[in-house]
Amino acid sequence: MESKSISRRKLIKRSAAAGAAISGVALQAQSPGVLRGSNAGRKFRAYVTRPGKGSAVEELTLLPVQPRQVLVRIEACAPCYTTVPRALPQASGTANRGRAEIPNHAAVGVVEEIGALVKRVQKGDRVVVAGTSQCGQCYQCLHGDPDFCQFTFGGDVFPPFATASDGTAVAAQAGVGGSSELAVVTEEYLCPVFTSVPAVELSLLGDQLTSGFAAGMCRMKIEAGSNVVVFGAGPVGLGAVQAGRVMGAAQVIVIEPIRYRRELAMRLGATMALDPNAEGAGLVEKIRELCKGPTDRKFAGGEAWITNGMANGARGADFTINASGMDNAPPKVERGPDPTGLLAMQQAWECTRMGGHLMYMGMVQGNFSLNGTSLALLGRTIHPGQQGGFHMMRDIPRIVKLMERGLVDAKTMIQGTYPLEKAGEAYQEVADRTKLSTVILMS
Ligand SMILES: [Zn+2]
Ligand SMILES: [Zn+2]
């Protein structure tokens, strides 16, 4: 624990040490007086992925907390589908950059120690650990785009924060990790929350639910009375569905091959859920029909209903969110029509009306092409996905308030909780898509 009053000289020394910590180099070369918190050497359990050896729960030893770092006792962690390829018990080593690491990139927990330079959080704070940072100082943050904060996805620049029993250094995936009893992250990834909403529900706010919700509330700003289409009813898509409901959309049409996910979408605010396998090649036309207004009389504010030429683009969604993507692992439930995710990208483009908005959020395999003239003439705006224009320090507290009012529902999205020793099962269910969101609860 840090002493409450520190001398100016000590502060300057700590500042210098922090500079080294930020760049991720020379971490062990700093003064022990600066580096050693009372928690260094503490043992804890974590779900660790080792190159070529898959993942398992191991006992680790904590390294000293750096001046800009925060030690968080994790309460709950919801595995993200994006992290699945490297997190499964039988995973190969190709995806984890040749080092041992703790998978995932979001969690919720309580601050147990702060480095000398940390300002945002205090010991005892409950914090959402977000997959996207917001430092407030980098070029992207200063230009209003903190979901592209340059501290996010730093990969190998994040130093190890623990060692395994065989001496192997262990880092956290994307500098965050989450599936461990303790995590050490820099403060720009943390948002303190002051609420009685249970940790298990808050565990969806660092990443999945929030990304989809922000897509509709922050970057695209769904208008009341509009037609919204969401491809994919995974945790991100269901966040987008809830944004459609909260923002007052007239229709929220979901496209999802998995039956139980269509049913969940209807419970969470969708007005219709379509199966892309059943709709086949007629899917886009079906959506256009659902979005056409009560009249085709243009002088009366209607959309042209004819289906040839440019007027074809008059009908369609005002806002489209593609929250579907490629299969990271073969699903053990209903398969979608295209494992690469490219077909849905194409359909999302085509089902959006002239002048409408669409956002691509899924990770896909390969490239897809658009008619160049349609880009020039149809006036559709493509928004970048990432975390949907999420400003974590601004938006996590807003979404927490909506949860307190019962307007955002994380509870319905959580289909299983697991102790840390069953973390592999929690990842496997997500990989197989047999459950929507699973949450690992630390004891
Ligand atoms: Zn994620
Ligand atoms: Zn930044």
CATH number at residue 171: 3.90.180.10
Report the separation in Å between the CA atom of 112 and the middle of ligand 1, taken as the mean of its atom positions: 25
| Residue 1 clears pLDDT 60, i.e. is over it | no
Q: Which of 7-16, 73-82, 211-220 has the lowest mean pLDDT?
A: 7-16
> Does residue 28 lie within any of the structural domains?
no
Quote the pLDDT of residue 93: 47
* Residue 67 reports pLDDT greater than 70: yes
Number of domains in the chain: 2
pLDDT digits (tens, 9 = 90+) for 297-346: 989 988 888 766 655 678 899 999 999 999 998 999 999 999 999 999 99
What are the backbone dihedrals phi and psi of residue 70, each rounded to the nearest 5 degrees, phi first? Answer: -135, 135
205: phi then psi, degrees, rounded to nearest 5: -85, -15
CA of residue 113 to ligand 2 center, whole Å: 23
Which of 338, 366, 384 is the last residue in one of the domains? 384
In a domain, 16, yes or no: no
C-alpha–C-alpha distance, residues 248 and 416, integer Å: 30
Q: What is the pLDDT of residue 100?
A: 92
CA 21, CA 41: separation in Å to the nearest integer? Answer: 19
Query: Of the candidates 208, 253, 214, which has an alpha carbon nearest to the alpha carbon of residue 234?
Result: 208
Strand order across the beta sheet in which 272-274 lies:
272-274, 251-255, 227-231, 317-322, 352-360, 381-384
DSSP result, 115-137? -TT--S--TT-EEEE-SS---SS
Residue 353 has pLDDT above 90, yes or no: yes
- 229 and 313 together in one domain: yes
| Token representation of residue 280 | 């086949």
- Residues 341 and 413 both lie in one domain: no
Whether residue 13 lies inside any domain: the answer is: no
Which ligand minimizes its atom distance to the CA of 144? 2
Which band of pLDDT confidence, cut at 50, 70 and 90, is reported for residue 419?
very high
Examine the domain organization and report whether 326 and 436 are in the same domain: no
| Rounded Cα distance, 240 and 246, in Å | 10
- CA 276 to chain CA centroid, Å, is 24
User: Do 232 and 130 fall into the same domain?
Assistant: no
pTM of the model: 0.90
Quote the Cα angle for 230-203-234, to 5°: 25
Which DSSP letter does residue 433 get?
T
Beta strands 107-114; 126-129: pairing state? antiparallel
Q: Residue 36 — very low, low, confident or very high, per pLDDT cuts 50/70/90?
A: low
pLDDT class of 386 with cuts at 50, 70, 90: confident
The yes-or-no verdict on residue 272 having pLDDT over 80 is yes
Instruction: Please state which of the ranges 27-41, 67-81, 272-286 shows the lowest mean pLDDT.
Output: 27-41
Provide mean pLDDT across the span 48-52: 89
Ligand nearest to the CA of 151: 2
Say whether both 158 and 261 belong to one domain: no
CATH number of the domain at 267, please: 3.40.50.720
Ligand (nearest to CA of 362):
1
Average pLDDT over residues 390-404: 97
In a domain, 26, yes or no: no
- Average pLDDT over the chain reads 89
223 and 200 within one domain? no
Within this chain, do residues 279 and 192 fall inside the same structural domain, yes or no?
Answer: no
Q: Which ligand is nearest to the CA of 186?
A: 2
pLDDT of residue 4: 46
Helix (H/G/I), strand (E/B), else coil: 39: coil
> Is the confidence at residue 95, as pLDDT, over 50?
no
Round to whole Å and give the CA distance between 400 and 199: 11
Domain shared by 368 and 310, yes or no: yes
Nearest ligand to the C-alpha atom of residue 239: 1
Same domain assignment for residues 84 and 226:
no
Asked, for residue 3, whether it belongs to a domain, the answer is: no
Distance 222 CA to ligand 2 centre (A): 26
Q: Which structural domain, as residue segments, surrounds residue 269?
A: 212-384
The reply to whether 397 and 317 lie within a common domain is no
Among the ranges given (5-14, 66-75, 166-175), the one the predictor scored with the smallest mean pLDDT: 5-14
* Cα 246 to ligand 2 centroid, rounded to whole Å: 28
Reported residue count of the chain is 443
Indicate which ligand has the atom closest to the C-alpha of 236: 1
As a whole number of angstroms, the distance between CA 322 and CA 357 comes to 11
For residue 37, what pLDDT is reported? 61
C-beta neighbour count of 306 within 10 angstroms? 11
Q: Per the domain annotation, does 83 fall within a domain?
A: yes
* pLDDT higher than 70, residue 25: no
What is each CA distance from 58 to 82, 95, 109, in whole angstroms? 23, 20, 20
Task: Identify the DSSP state of 31.
Answer: -
Q: Which ligand approaches the C-alpha of residue 141 most closely?
A: 2
**List of long-range contacts for 272-278, beta carbons under 8 Å, 24+ apart:** 273/233, 275/334, 276/336, 276/337, 276/344, 276/347, 277/334, 277/335, 277/336, 277/337
- Residue 191 Cα to ligand 2 midpoint, Å, equals 14
Distance 386 CA to ligand 2 centre (A): 14
Q: From ligand 2's centre to the CA of 145, what distance in Å?
A: 8
What pLDDT is stored for residue 433 in this prediction?
Answer: 97
- Mean pLDDT calculated for residue range 114-131: 97
Rg (CA), the chain: 23
Tell me how far the alpha carbon of residue 22 lies from the centroid of ligand 2, in angstroms: 13
In a domain, 17, yes or no: no
Q: How far is the CA of 424 from the centre of ligand 2 (A)?
A: 33
Give domain status of residue 404, yes or no. Answer: yes
At 154 the pLDDT is 64
Decide if 413 contacts 200 (C-beta within 8 A).
no
pLDDT on residue 309: 60
CA 11 to ligand 1 centroid distance, Å: 36
The pair of three-digit structure tokens given for residue 333, joined into one six-digit string: 């439930």
- Chain centroid to CA 262: 21
Residue 32 confidence (pLDDT): 40
Q: Do residues 195 and 256 both lie within one domain?
A: no
CA 149 – ligand 2 centroid, Å? 4
Q: 125 with 53, same domain?
A: yes
Last residue of a domain, one of 384, 404, 431: 384
